[in-house]
Amino acid sequence: MLLYVDSNFDSPYALVAFVGLLEKGLKFDIKPLELYAKANQEPGFAATSITRRIPTLVHGDFALSESSAICEYIDETFPGTRLYPSESRDRARARQVQAWTRSDLMPIRDERPTSVVFCGARRPALSAQAIEAANKLFAAALRLLDGRTDSLFGQWSIADVDLAMMLQRLVAHGDSVPEPLAEYANLQWHRPSVQQWIKHERPRLVEY
């Protein structure tokens, strides 16, 4: 198998796909693409990936993009650690968390980009809109965790990586985060599969 990722190793979606493959115990190669040079638009990759997006997984003659789709595919295709909960309602909730963290909370994503998490970038104080989004994130995360600090469902799932990634945008920058959520996010961040992604060598950060 081959996983196409971004050359900066700071895509939260490539992170999720990478972690999913590791957690399943699968062997795969990585091919970084320089997105700033529009390598994902080159004919070779465009012929492989229908949507020309990162991450894209190639398994034999099958290519699939979108990290949640990749995780569902490998979870249903291969044995090993379950990426999604076995109970149907928890599984649906995990997918909800993944979809929500990808489609909402835009002020946080804009003001705390992934370079904050993976490269130590610094940004100004959060705007009023970002504070409002952060409070929404905190309220939802506390309700989802329901007093737990180890995982969303009492057992790890790939949705924990998605939620922790959103929280880490704030935790890593030193923004105020409720202690139980900071503890949860940092616990997820120290999972060995996540640490393998974090330890990838990255281009030197240039701040303007």
Q: At what angle do helices 67-77 and 88-103 cross, to 10 degrees?
A: 160
> How many other CB atoms are found less than 10 A from the CB of residue 110?
13
Contact 140, 148 (CB under 8 A): no
Q: What is the pLDDT of residue 143?
A: 97
Question: What pLDDT band is residue 39 in, cutting at 50, 70 and 90?
Answer: confident
pLDDT one-digit tens code per residue, 116-127 = 999 999 999 999
**Domains of the chain, CATH where assigned:** 2-81 (3.40.30.10), 88-195 (1.20.1050.10)
> How many other CB atoms are found less than 10 A from the CB of residue 203?
12
Six token digits for residue 145: 């965790």
Question: What pLDDT band is residue 205 in, cutting at 50, 70 and 90?
Answer: low
Contact 203, 152 (CB under 8 A): no
Express as a percent the part of the chain with pLDDT over 70: 98
Question: What pLDDT band is residue 208 in, cutting at 50, 70 and 90?
Answer: very low
d(CA 46, CA 42): 6
CA-nearest of 115, 97, 143 to 9 is 115
